[in-house]
């Protein structure tokens, strides 16, 4: 049974996106901005105009009537209503509530940071650069927090804890996330390996079976190499998990469990940076839940790993500074 829920910064082979037209489904706490980010790649031209307008001016639904917003976006009022339903709202009233909630959260962050999503440039003052940089990352992590469904995370964690082998696939920027997740799982006694090379990945995937779990990491969900590795793992009989910002991508279609992250494309020139942080957010939360399923084993393996590394560090210092 497929569980859907709401985690390559360098150019990678892309699988064409599947056409989508049906309304999206989001948890109630998922704000307007995050909904727009998640669905933007599937909008028609008229819907794209509305989405772009709201991303640039998130206060408009709070301040304008549906007719005024339609006029501002150069579309009809019924198109605005269809747009609301497409991003999971019952109508314009619910859209206004979502926009107001996002604005209220931003106000609470004013003391910490500047405008989220703003373009950074060398002409900025040091303070403005740091504030904008921080605001963008806070916004991205908050959007990922909005997507968290703990029941879904726990389902994936249970699959991982009960498996005999874990493959984690990631290419480009997502490869560091895949490597980090595999290394953390390995440290607590989970037999995990990560793969970024397509040939090595599909060779490993082809040998998996029903007691194994394969995890694909791709912000877009359309990275061809990652899709192909997860497809091979699924065909071999392994259980599959996707960590992606697009629950309707081909990577998600191959997964028994989909863990959603906030998309980074909306964050302009900082998008590739925030994308990796939102993936790490989801991967670390997944790791934590796995470690809690058998805490005694996790602690035992983690302590053994730390002790082994510490002995190596001590020996290294002694070699560099021998004692007479």
Q: How far apart are CA 6 and CA 101, in angstroms?
A: 19
Query: Are residue 101 and residue 155 in the same domain, yes or no?
Result: no
Cβ atoms within 10 A of the Cβ of 168, count?
30
CATH assignment of the domain containing 61: 1.10.10.10
Residue 192 counted as domain residue: yes
| DSSP label of 120 | P
Give percent of the chain above pLDDT 90.
43
Q: Worst-scoring range by mean pLDDT, 85-89, 240-244, 275-279, 298-302?
A: 275-279
Is 72 part of a structural domain of the chain? yes
Is 47 inside a domain boundary? yes
Asked which of 108, 142, 165 is the last residue of a domain, the reply is: 108
Each residue's pLDDT tens digit, 236-291 = 999 999 999 888 899 999 999 999 887 654 444 554 566 777 888 999 999 999 99
Higher pLDDT, 221 or 141: 221
pLDDT at residue 28 in the model: 55
244 in the same domain as 166: yes
Q: What is the predicted pLDDT for the residue at 120?
A: 64
CB 255 within 8 A of CB 226: no
What value does the CA radius of gyration of the chain take, rounded to a whole number of Å?
Answer: 22
176 and 50 part of one domain = no
Number of domains in the chain: 2
pLDDT for position 4? 46
Task: Kindly state whether residues 293 and 171 are assigned to the same domain.
Answer: yes
Contacts 24+ apart (CB under 8 A), 297-305: 297/188, 297/189, 298/188, 298/189, 300/189, 301/187, 301/188, 301/189, 302/187, 302/188, 305/187
Give the range among 5-9, 265-269, 300-304 with minimum mean pLDDT: 5-9
Closest CA to 121 of 8, 268, 263: 268
User: Same structural domain for residues 206 and 295?
Assistant: yes
The pTM score is 0.67
Overall average pLDDT of the 217-237 stretch: 96
Least confident of 84-98, 110-124, 192-206, 234-248: 110-124
Residues 85 and 229 in one domain: no
pLDDT digits (tens, 9 = 90+) for 125-172: 888 878 777 777 777 777 777 778 788 899 999 999 999 999 999 999
189's tokens: 């006694």
298 lies in the same domain as 178 = yes
* Residue ranges making up the domain that contains 227: 150-304
d(CA 134, CA 320): 40
Find out whether 285 and 291 touch, Cβ atoms under 8 Å. Answer: no
Same-domain pairing of 167 and 293: yes
**CATH number of the domain bearing residue 178:** 3.40.50.10490
In terms of pLDDT, which residue wins out, 250 or 62? Answer: 250
Domain co-membership, 100 together with 167: no
Q: Provide the mean pLDDT of the chain.
A: 81
CB 13 within 8 A of CB 223: yes
Per-residue pLDDT of 177-205, as tens digits, reads: 999 999 999 999 999 999 999 999 999 99
Task: Tell me the percentage of the chain whose pLDDT exceeds 70.
Answer: 78
Within a domain: 8 = no
Strands (E), the chain: 3-4, 165-170, 192-195, 212-217, 239-244, 257-260
| Arithmetic mean of pLDDT, 26-48 | 76
Asked whether the beta carbons of 170 and 188 are under 8 A apart, the reply is no
């Amino acid at each position: 049974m497929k569980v859907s829920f709401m985690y390559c910064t360098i150019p990678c082979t892309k699988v064409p996106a599947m056409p989508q037209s049906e309304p999206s489904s989001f948890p109630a706490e998922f704000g307007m901005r995050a909904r727009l980010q998640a669905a933007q790649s599937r909008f028609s031209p008229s819907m794209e105009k509305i989405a772009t307008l709201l991303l640039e001016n998130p206060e408009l639904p709070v301040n304008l009537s549906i007719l005024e917003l339609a006029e501002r976006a150069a579309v009809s009022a019924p198109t605005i209503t269809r747009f609301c339903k497409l991003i999971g709202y019952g109508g314009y009233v619910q859209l206004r509530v979502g926009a107001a909630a996002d604005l209220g959260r931003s106000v609470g962050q004013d003391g910490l940071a500047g405008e989220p999503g703003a373009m950074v440039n060398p002409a900025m003052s040091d303070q403005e650069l740091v504030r904008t940089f921080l605001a963008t990352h806070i916004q991205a992590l908050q959007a990922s927090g909005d997507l968290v469904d703990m029941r879904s995370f726990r389902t994936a964690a249970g699959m991982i804890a009960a498996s005999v082998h874990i493959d984690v696939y990631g290419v480009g920027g997502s490869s560091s996330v895949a490597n980090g997740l595999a290394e953390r799982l390995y440290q607590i006694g989970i037999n995990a390996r990560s793969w970024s090379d397509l040939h090595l990945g599909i060779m490993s995937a082809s040998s998996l079976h029903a007691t194994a779990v394969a995890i694909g990491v791709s912000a877009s969900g359309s990275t061809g190499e990652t899709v192909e590795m997860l497809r091979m793992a699924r065909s071999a009989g392994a259980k599959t998990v996707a960590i992606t910002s697009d629950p309707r991508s081909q990577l998600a279609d191959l997964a028994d469990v989909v863990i959603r992250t906030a998309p980074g494309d909306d964050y302009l020139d900082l998008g590739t940076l925030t994308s990796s942080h939102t993936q790490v957010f989801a991967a670390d939360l997944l790791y934590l839940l796995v470690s809690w399923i058998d805490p005694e084993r996790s602690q035992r393996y983690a302590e053994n790993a730390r002790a082994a590394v510490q002995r190596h560090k001590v020996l290294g210092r002694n070699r560099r500074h021998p004692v007479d």
